[in-house]
Structures are given as C-alpha cells and as structure tokens.
Chain A
Amino acid sequence: TQLLEQSPQFLSIQEGENLTVYCNSSSVFSSLQWYRQEPGEGPVLLVTVVTGGEVKKLKRLTFQFGDARKDSSLHITAAQPGDTGLYLCAGPNSGNTGKLIFGQGTTLQVKP
C-alpha cells in the first residue's frame, strides 16, 4: 500500500520566519503534487513535480522532488499570515488510474 507521510503535522510560527514541510514515502511516485487548503474550502493545486531532483519556485514557496522520487519538500521563506492553511502532498497511485493518494496534511499557522 502506497502511503505518504507528512511532517510536521502542525506548525505555528511568527510572520517572517522560514519553514519546511516534508512529504515522505517508501514507494516511488511518478510525480507529486502540493495543495493548499483553507478552512471550509477545497484544496487548491500549487505545483506538480515530475522529475527526480526537480526544484520549482512559486514566489516565496520552493518545492523539491527527491532524487529517488520517494519524497518531496515545501520550503516557505518569510512566511505571512496569508500562508496559513493545510498543506497536502499527493501522488498518483501505482496503477496510474488517475486516483491520487494524499498525505495527512500539515496545518500551518502564521501569526502576525
């Protein structure tokens, strides 16, 4: 069974601090995605990483896919209160049927 484990599960920081969220698996994934979800809303896709070692940047967010395609990280520089939310990593199941497997999420709270 493919599993994605995220750490930490909860993070509370002050505005302006940097942070990193991790997404790990013992399985190889063809790609990994990161979503952000605000309370009462559905997740919104931030990025998809496809190639081992790939790094993508989205303003203050940096996403990296591990060389072996078993893990990924999300680094936020100078966090702002607007970054508050649930961050989810997800990857396609091994059968490539279109189904995504989600990690349990990292809840980020950025205090002003």
Chain B
Amino acid sequence: DIQLTQSPSFLSASVGDRVTITCRASQGISTYLAWYQQKPGKAPKLLIYAASTLQSGVPSRFSGSGSGTEFTLTISSLQPEDFATYYCQQLNYYPRTFGGGTKVEIK
C-alpha cells in the first residue's frame, strides 16, 4: 500500500501567514493527489485535485504543487476560516490512502 506522510502534523499560525503543508508518498503516484479541508463535525471539502488543480469555488489563496513522491499545499495568506485540518489523498493506486492530517490552529 502507498503510505502518505504529512508534515507537520500540527501547525500554529497567524492570520495573514503563508502556510505550507507537505505530503510525501512512499512511492511515485504521478500527480494523482488531492487535498481536503475538514472542519470539526463536517465532511471533508475537496480543495485541490490532480496535485495542482483548484476545485471550483475554492479561493485562489490555496495552491498545490508536486509530482511523484513530494507534494505541497500552500495557503498564501491564512484567513480565519482556514483554521481546520488538512488531508492529502493519493488516487493512483488502491487502497486510496489518506495522509494523517495537518491541524492548522490559531497562534
């Protein structure tokens, strides 16, 4: 199975900060990677698919990059509504594994 390792697992940041989350795959997955945002008690929300394509309706401050085994999610200027947990997921192989998550909290 493909293992996805997210770092950091916890991040404390301020409004306006630039935030970068990394997701590393145990083997190459091309660009078959998605990023999700999840708030407490809510279903995940797709932010980015195919490693760098912004889902419709998602603010442009979110961006994704990478291919192969290393990927990043960047929030260019953190907004109050962005405090949440973020997950990566690979869709190249079954099982379609998720990363362990990165919780972004207010500093």
A associates with B: no
